[in-house]
């Protein structure tokens, strides 16, 4: 929505929360929110696996004045509510 008001044609932006969240943290949050008892299983690392990732949102902050307002758990609560409403 922000890009509609700014002349940024042809630009690419990372849109994220600007905080590091591991896959293990994401699994724990989703388990808590869904009441799931599913247990993750881990396999040995593979060549080329990404160990750590964090989207750089500095370009979106600068050009679009993007400032994330929703933390990961809050966003997942809303997303799950939307999916639950769509499947009823």
Among residues 14, 31, 15, the alpha carbon closest in space to that of 73 is found at 31
pTM score, two decimals?
Answer: 0.75
- Overall domain count for the chain: 1
Domain membership of residue 26 as a residue range: 2-86
| pLDDT for position 44 | 95
CATH of the domain at 12: 3.90.25.10
| pLDDT for position 83 | 94
Tens digit of each residue's pLDDT (9 = 90 or more) over 27-66: 999 999 999 999 999 999 999 988 777 899 999 999 999 9
| pLDDT for position 78 | 96
- Tell the burial category of 37 from Cβ atoms under 10 Å away from its Cβ (0-12, 13-18, 19+): exposed
Among residues 78, 71, 82, 64, the alpha carbon closest in space to that of 19 is found at 71
| pLDDT for position 67 | 94
| pLDDT for position 52 | 77
Among residues 3, 2, 51, the alpha carbon closest in space to that of 24 is found at 51
């Amino acid at each position: 929505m922000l890009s509609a008001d700014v002349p940024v044609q042809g630009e690419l932006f990372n849109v994220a929360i600007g905080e590091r969240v591991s896959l293990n943290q994401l699994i724990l949050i989703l388990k808590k929110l869904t009441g799931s008892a599913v247990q993750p299983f881990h396999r040995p690392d593979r060549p080329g696996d990404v160990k750590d990732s964090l989207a750089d949102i500095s370009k979106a902050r600068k050009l679009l004045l993007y400032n994330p307002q929703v933390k990961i758990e809050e966003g997942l609560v809303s997303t799950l509510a939307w999916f639950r409403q769509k499947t009823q």
